[in-house]
Amino acid sequence: MTTHYLVLSALLFSIGALGVLLRRNAIVVFMCVELMLNACNLAFVTFAGQHGSLDGQLIAFFVMVVAAAEVVIGLAIIVMIFRTRRSASVDDANLLKY
């Protein structure tokens, strides 16, 4: 069963990575990053079961805390960019490009 869970986790992680590469709405890109974090958590929980110790679950818990903090800051930045550029597309935030 461990392999099944890990394959599911790998699939979800790659779908998230694909979304980050493909989508250009900053909020959707952010959701894909969350999907990748969730996939990692699934792998952590699976390995906790595989090794018979609770450390994996503990790490997953800390990942959730960090993800929550990251979401708060990231969304605040997106709102700020939207206020100045009137757009949530990652293509429009290009003032540092040249």
Site for other proteins in 17-36 (CB under 8 A): 17-19, 21-25, 27-28, 30-32, 34-35
Residue 30 beta carbon to other proteins: minimum distance, rounded to whole angstroms: 8
42-81 residues in contact with other proteins (CB under 8 A) are: 42, 45-46, 48-55, 57-58, 60-62, 64-73, 75-80
State the Cα angle at 78 between 76 and 74, rounded to 5°. 55
Longest dimension (CA), the chain: 53
Asked if 94 interacts with other proteins (CB under 8 A), we say yes
Q: Which is nearer to other proteins, 8 or 96 (CB)?
A: 8
12 near other proteins, rule: CB under 8 A: yes
Alpha-helical regions (H) of 23-94: 26-51, 55-85
Q: Among residues 89, 93, 96, 98, which is the contact residue for other proteins, using CB under 8 A?
A: 89
**Residues whose CB falls within 8 Å of the CB of residue 37, separated by 6 or more in sequence, listed in order:** 63, 67
Tell me how far apart the alpha carbons of residues 46 and 3 are, in angstroms, rounded to a whole number: 9
